Amino acid sequence: MLRRLRLLTAGESHGPHLSVILDGLPAGLPLQLEQLNFQLARRQKGFGSGGRMRIEKDRVRLSAGFVAGKTSGGPLAIEIPNLDFANWQEREIEAMTIPRPGHADLTGAIKYQHADLRLCLERASARETAGRVAAGAVCRQLLEHFGVRIGGFVERIASVAVPIPEVPDAAELEALAARALQDDLGCPDPQASAALRAEIKQVMAAKDTAGGVFRIFALHLPPGLGSYVQWDRRLDARLAFAMLSIPAMKGIEIGPAFANAGRRGSAVHDEIFPADSGRLRRHSNRAGGLEGGISTGEPLLLSVAMKPISTTLAPRRSVDLKSGEAAVTRYERSDFCALPRAVPIGEAMLALVLADALLEKLGGDSMREIEPRFKALAGNRLDDLDLDGKSWRFDYAI
Ligand code: EPS
């Protein structure tokens, strides 16, 4: 899925710390470490979170690949302590033998032959995404260096939708994301935020959980990232992989893909127009910024669907695997609705895939080598193209 960068994470949810290695960065990228902590703090906030977020205060420790304020070109090593470890370190941990429907408890136990379902939970936990957000905050700084901006917001919680244009333009997206940053539900609309909060309160009162949809975007992305020449180089496919790798994410949409599926082609495809000084323009972006698996240079738009959290306060029917008897689940501390916290995780994975695609396009080992290559990247201008209008033959030797 990644073609130049490599990302590995390690760590248990209640172990001493999470570890991250991000490999393949160019040397000489200045990094603001506070930006990593800022993104981690976003991932911790949000109405509907469970008790764990009152314990943790995620902050990074870097131990490799970062020298004199810049990346060294070597693997970047990041650690995030689990403050909750102090509460688990000396504890006799009661075995968990009743799997929660929807969680990785049962599939993990079958696969890894664990004696305690808690061992599945420890690594399957979405705690792991803290490491991805830290790595994504690094990728984001690489993208921002070249003017690419990433943002996002909550679009729906359970059946309550936020009124958002089907395909917002760049200025609307900036404004939506800026408003969402101020809201503890990640919602860009104050009225809708109140409705979402009421929905989450009802869900909590019913001892239940809620899922939803968030939207993320990238602006000022150059055209030409990704490719159609091989299936695993298509940027849309790489983005889908990255989004569905986030725990609980079950669907992805590029632009208004599901609405487009019900329309005729003439009502979907974004027509191309000549504009001033040899530029090519689109007046719409229903493709969501991707054509032929390649970025068009228009805003990249993704919606991601999250299933409701699988740990519910209300018991669910299951089986005690110790005895084989029918049983009901016991409550494990968890979130009620993690949509607000999912937005920065989606943004982090978007930054990772786009930084990777940009580095794939540009090559190079140092920022000094890469910067002029970025300036020379083709835009949506006739001068960047090489069409001569002459006919041609395949001329394959047989
Ligand atoms: C999670 C259960 C909860 C969540 C956790 C994901 O943790 P705990 O079992 O410690 O209460 O808070 O998410 C995080 C710790 C995090 O940092 O996002 C689960 O079972 O997936």
Atom number in ligand 1 closest to CA 84: 10
Q: Look at residue 332 in the predicted model and tell me its pLDDT.
A: 80
Question: Is 389 a domain residue?
Answer: no
Percent of the chain with pLDDT over 90: 93
Count of residues in the chain: 398
| pLDDT tens-digit readout, 127-136 | 999 999 999 9
Atom number in ligand 1 closest to CA 125: 21
- Provide the 8-state DSSP code for 233: G
Atom 2 in ligand 1: residue holding the nearest Cα: 334
Q: Is 132 in the pocket of ligand 1 (CB under 6 A)?
A: no
Q: Look at residue 121 in the predicted model and tell me its pLDDT.
A: 95
Question: Is 393 a domain residue?
Answer: no
Q: Look at residue 334 in the predicted model and tell me its pLDDT.
A: 87
Measured CA to CA, the distance from residue 306 to residue 303 in angstroms comes to: 10
Q: Is 295 in the pocket of ligand 1 (CB under 6 A)?
A: no
Q: Is 338 in the pocket of ligand 1 (CB under 6 A)?
A: no
Q: Look at residue 151 in the predicted model and tell me its pLDDT.
A: 98
382, 356, 309: which is closest to 136 by C-alpha?
Answer: 356
Question: Is 70 a domain residue?
Answer: yes
Measured CA to CA, the distance from residue 276 to residue 385 in angstroms comes to: 16
**Is the distance from CB of 220 to CB of 70 less than 8 angstroms?**
no
pTM of the model: 0.97
| Burial bucket for residue 339 (CB in 10 Å: 0-12, 13-18, 19+) | buried
> Cα dist. 62→79, 131, 132, 272 in Å?
6, 12, 14, 47
Measured CA to CA, the distance from residue 244 to residue 247 in angstroms comes to: 7
Q: Print the domain residue range for 143.
A: 6-384
Using DSSP's 3-state secondary structure scheme, residue 42 falls into: helix
Question: Is 161 a domain residue?
Answer: yes
Q: Is 342 in the pocket of ligand 1 (CB under 6 A)?
A: no
279, 255, 280, 253: which is closest to 269 by C-alpha?
Answer: 255
Residue 313: CATH number of its domain: 3.60.150.10
> Cα dist. 370→147, 219, 221 in Å?
14, 20, 16
Question: Is 391 a domain residue?
Answer: no
The rounded Å distance from CA 37 to ligand 1 centre is: 19
**Ligand 1: which of 42, 127, 132, 335 to mutate, judged by most atoms within 8 Å of the beta carbon?**
127
Question: Is 63 a domain residue?
Answer: yes
CA angle 346, 352, 354 (to 5 degrees): 100
Q: Look at residue 380 in the predicted model and tell me its pLDDT.
A: 85
Burial state string for 64-94 with b = 16 or more CB within 10 A and e = fewer than 16: ebbeeebbebebbbbbbbbebeeeeeeeeee
Measured CA to CA, the distance from residue 9 to residue 81 in angstroms comes to: 13
**Is the distance from CB of 264 to CB of 319 less than 8 angstroms?**
no
Tokens at 73, concatenated:
């070109």
Measured CA to CA, the distance from residue 276 to residue 351 in angstroms comes to: 32
Number of domains in the chain: 1
Q: Look at residue 96 in the predicted model and tell me its pLDDT.
A: 96
Q: Is 312 in the pocket of ligand 1 (CB under 6 A)?
A: no
Burial state string for 223-255 with b = 16 or more CB within 10 A and e = fewer than 16: bbbbbeeeeebbbbebbbebbeebbbbeebbbb
Using DSSP's 3-state secondary structure scheme, residue 302 falls into: strand
Atom 15 in ligand 1: residue holding the nearest Cα: 127
Residue 383 has φ and ψ, to the nearest 5°, of: -60, -25
Q: Look at residue 333 in the predicted model and tell me its pLDDT.
A: 86
Question: Is 34 a domain residue?
Answer: yes
1, 4, 132: which is closest to 78 by C-alpha?
Answer: 132
Write the Ramachandran bin of 212: left for phi over 0, alpha for psi from -120 to 50, otherwise beta.
left
| pLDDT tens-digit readout, 96-139 | 999 999 999 999 999 999 999 999 999 999 999 999 999 999 99
Q: Look at residue 272 in the predicted model and tell me its pLDDT.
A: 96
| pLDDT tens-digit readout, 249-278 | 999 999 999 999 999 999 999 999 998 888
Question: Is 397 a domain residue?
Answer: no
Tokens at 212, concatenated:
């939803």
Tokens at 333, concatenated:
């501390």
Residue 265 has φ and ψ, to the nearest 5°, of: -55, -40
Measured CA to CA, the distance from residue 360 to residue 352 in angstroms comes to: 12
Please give the average pLDDT of every successive group of 10 residues along the chain, which has 398 residues. 97 97 98 98 92 93 97 98 94 94 97 96 97 98 98 98 97 98 96 97 96 98 97 98 98 98 98 91 97 98 98 96 97 91 98 98 97 91 91 92
**Is the distance from CB of 386 to CB of 166 less than 8 angstroms?**
no
